[in-house]
Amino acid sequence: MGGDEGVNLVIPGAAKALVRRPDLRFRLYGDRDAVEPVLARYPRVAEVSVFEHCDYAVRMEEKPSQALRHGRRRSSMWRAIEAVKKGDADFAVSAGNTGALMAMARFVLRTTAEIDRPAIAALWPTLRGESVVLDCGATIGADAQQLFDFAVMGGAMARALFDIPRPTVGLLNIGVEEVKGLEPVREAGQMLKEANLPNIEYYGFVEGDDIGKGTVDVVVTEGFSGNIALKTAEGTAKQIAGYLRSAMNRTFLARIGYFLARDAFERLREKMDPRRGNGGVFLGLTGIVIKSHGGTDPDGFATAVELGYSMARNRLLETINQDVSEYYRTHRARLDAEVAPAEAL
């Protein structure tokens, strides 16, 4: 029921995902009057779906506290997340209200024992391939320990997705010098440097232009700046695409040039298409929840579904949580060993 188009986004998106992943099965939660007419136009989706009527849908403008109060246990969003908790679904996907989705996901699924705050992790296309960027808007602000946790979770996700034994991790900052940036960022950098984690290689500070370059495998930031960076990149991609279309249609010779180079332009269009990177993973929870961009189209929503499919099929959440748990066990044991002699003195 969420996103700019609601049912007219979700069900056509499910249909596109089903073409590429024919073993998908769906549990759909929403208002019967809105869902059933659209579902009737997609018989293949209807065939592999269980639909449950919900009498409440979280509005896009609702505050998370209001959504929890009014939509607890009866909203389509809550019921979808609850299906993951009960084991009736392997993952949940929503294009709805981000704050409400995170609040409900935290309430229903809970965070893993070691993580204080979840983060939204997105796959970001770069000149080198892809990078993991987090947090992309789960919460505003973060202290040094939370940024440290994001680095551990992002590194585990990169290991699982990219099959890199020791991914590089950078902290997003306004400069690469150690004296620059906010105190929590500088403190987190010092913590990562001193920790010398076995499964990630701390690169140092990175700037905004390093994200697209693919300077590091994982870019860590807090949700305010991460969300702005994500939406700026999406807007820039659309802006450049608009410039290219305008330039190619300006003269007859330009149109001939486009015709001769259309394969190259098509590859460029695919690389810059923000729908290819749609879908943010809520890391730090005990189940998989994927947040789709509310303004995407069915192709973009299908991408978010396929991200959840890939995570569930390859048991990536288990790998990530095992990495995080293992790190904190060994890290805390090392800290205890260092503290014990000092206390004895």
pLDDT greater than 90 at residue 218? yes
From the DSSP assignment, how many helices (H) and strands (E) are in the chain?
A: 14, 10
Is 306 within a domain? no
Reported confidence tier of residue 169, pLDDT bands at 50, 70, 90:
very high
Write out the H or E segment, with its range, that includes residue 277.
none
* pTM assigned to the model: 0.82
What value does the mean pLDDT of the chain take?
85
Residues 42-87: tens digit of each pLDDT = 999 999 999 999 999 999 888 888 888 887 788 999 999 999 999 9
Torsion of CA 16, 20, 22, 25, to 10 degrees: -50
Is 45 within a domain? no
The two tokens of residue 99 are: 């704050």
* Residue (of 213, 191, 189) closest to 203 by Cα position: 189
Total domains in the chain come to 1
**CATH for 333:** 3.40.718.10
Is 141 within a domain? yes
Rounded to whole angstroms, the Cα distance separating 330 from 54 reads 45
Rounded to whole angstroms, the Cα distance separating 15 from 124 reads 25
The two tokens of residue 159 are: 């290991």
Is 307 within a domain? no
Residues 268-304: tens digit of each pLDDT = 556 555 566 678 899 889 899 999 988 889 999 999 9
Is 197 within a domain? yes
Which domain range does residue 141 map to?
111-284+315-344
